[in-house]
Amino acid sequence: MTDLLRTWAGVVLISFSAVYVRLADVEATRSAFLRVAYALPVFAVLVVWRRRRSTAPRRAGAPAPSGWVPLAVVAGAFLALDLVSWHTSIGLIGAGLATVLANLQVVIVGVLGVVLFRERPRGTFWLALPIVLIGVWLLGATGEPVEAGGSVVAGVGFGVLTALAYSVFLVVLRQARLGGADTLSSMASATFGATVVAFAFAAAEGVAAPPTSLEANAWLVALALGSQVAGWLLLTSSIDRLPAALTSVALLLQPVLAMLWGAALLAEPIGVPQVAGAATVLAGVAVAHRAARVATHHETEEPVGVP
């Protein structure tokens, strides 16, 4: 499979994440915890299998399997916060709009790069900030809850918190990757850290056990295997080998697909005002991603979309 096909396959798989969350119809902390808990054994098996193959010849420049990565485990704590926030947002404003807001991480990661690492994106990057702020305001002002009595403002707030937490996760994960950790070990370690912290969230609410419904469990398994494992690995093995223009398209395709799935499969209320707000946010994200990627091209194989 070519890098382009792997990227598109990963994007499509991840675009269903929020749909699976809504179809499972369980508490946000429960779905966040079980998503990573169900994925963790698969990652563990893959890490062991990879290490057993470590004596085989590797392509030039390929990193050696590194086992568990402590800094990536720390990153996983922020991934857990991201997932709990995102799943809460999905339950309030739906799969599509919650996914659009989570993609604000592109802008926030750029700002963190400037503040923490003195990166210097192109001047057009700063044009993205007022654009995304206008888009977030439009979504908050015109969005509709997916459940009667739900708070759109709270849903938007959790969506922004999702982007903040995911941004910190990506920045910490980047440092782990720059330290020489391979992609699979980093993702497995991050999933382990997320499982521990998400369990704490779920246990505090008394919902750390799997749901009794087989259907709900099936959707959560699909979320874990389709998005957390297969989607991530497909994207991280291919996305950084593509031209920046194709990466930008992949970045924008995921939330667009999530909105389409939400409207088509879940009958989520998406009207002209919501589309306008989402389009404004994604326009700002596209500007920020292009400017930041050109200026600070890192070969770290990080996930591009939200998990």
The pLDDT tens digits of the residues spanning 259-302 come to: 999 999 999 887 888 889 899 998 988 888 777 665 554 444 45
pLDDT bracket for residue 27 (50, 70, 90): very high
pLDDT bracket for residue 155 (50, 70, 90): very high
Instruction: Give the number of other CB atoms < 10 A from CB of residue 271.
Output: 11
Q: What is the mean pLDDT of residues 45-56?
A: 80
pLDDT bracket for residue 153 (50, 70, 90): very high
202 touches 80 (CB < 8 A)? no
Round to the nearest angstrom and report the end-to-end CA distance of the chain: 22
**What span, in angstroms and rounded, lies between the C-alpha atoms of 205 and 99?**
25
**What span, in angstroms and rounded, lies between the C-alpha atoms of 158 and 160?**
5
pLDDT of residue 4: 80
Q: What is the mean pLDDT of residues 180-197?
A: 92
Q: What is the mean pLDDT of residues 195-218?
A: 97
Q: What is the mean pLDDT of residues 8-28?
A: 95
77 touches 229 (CB < 8 A)? no
pLDDT of residue 288: 84
Report whether pLDDT(258) > 70. yes
pLDDT of residue 57: 56
| Alpha helices by DSSP H, the chain | 3-15, 17-24, 28-52, 70-93, 95-102, 105-117, 124-142, 152-178, 183-204, 214-222, 232-236, 244-266, 272-295
Q: What is the mean pLDDT of residues 34-41?
A: 98
77 touches 194 (CB < 8 A)? yes
Percent of the chain clearing pLDDT 90 (strictly above)? 50
pLDDT bracket for residue 241 (50, 70, 90): confident
pLDDT of residue 114: 85
pLDDT of residue 168: 94
pLDDT digits (tens, 9 = 90+) for 51-95: 887 765 555 555 555 567 899 999 999 999 999 999 999 999 999
Q: What is the mean pLDDT of residues 151-172?
A: 94
pLDDT digits (tens, 9 = 90+) for 121-148: 777 888 888 999 898 988 888 778 888 7
**What span, in angstroms and rounded, lies between the C-alpha atoms of 21 and 222?**
10
pLDDT of residue 297: 47
- What tokens appear for 80 in the block? 């857990």
**What span, in angstroms and rounded, lies between the C-alpha atoms of 272 and 73?**
41
Report whether pLDDT(248) > 60. yes
pLDDT of residue 301: 45
Report whether pLDDT(161) > 50. yes
13 touches 231 (CB < 8 A)? yes
Range with the poorest average pLDDT among 20-24, 95-99, 242-246, 261-265 = 242-246
Cβ-proximal residues to 5 (8 Å cutoff; 6+ apart), any chain = none
Q: 0.75 cut: is pTM over it?
A: yes
Question: Which single residue is written with the structure tokens 């918190």?
Answer: 161
